[in-house]
C-alpha cells in the first residue's frame, strides 16, 4: 500500500505544478489556498508567498 501511495505522489509531482495547501488558525478556522510550486526531488516543494497571507501566518501552527 505504501509503495502505491509513493507512486501516486510521484506521478502527481511529475505531472503538475499546482497544489492546494490547507491550514487552520489558532481558533480552528480552516484556510485553503491554491499555489504553484517547484519541486526539489520528491521530498521538498518550494513556493513563494507573502508573509502576510493567511496560509503563511498559519503555516507554523500546521507544522507543529
Predicted model pTM: 0.64
CB 55: neighbour CB atoms within 10 A? 19
What nine digits make up the cell of 33? 489556498
CA distance 21 to 45: 12
- pLDDT, position 16: 92
Selected residue with higher pLDDT from 24 and 41: 41
| Residue in this structure with the C-alpha cell 505544478, named with its chain if needed | 17
Mean pLDDT of 3-13: 93
| Average pLDDT rounded to a whole number, residues 29-35 | 86
Distance of CA 11 to the CA centre of its chain: 16
Amino acid at each position: 500500500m505504501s509503495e502505491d501511495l509513493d507512486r501516486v505522489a510521484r506521478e502527481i509531482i511529475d505531472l503538475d505544478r499546482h497544489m492546494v495547501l490547507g491550514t487552520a488558525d489558532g481558533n480552528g478556522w480552516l484556510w485553503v489556498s491554491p499555489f504553484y510550486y517547484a519541486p526539489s526531488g520528491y521530498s521538498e516543494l518550494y513556493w513563494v508567498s507573502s508573509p502576510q497571507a493567511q496560509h503563511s501566518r498559519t503555516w507554523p501552527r500546521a507544522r507543529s
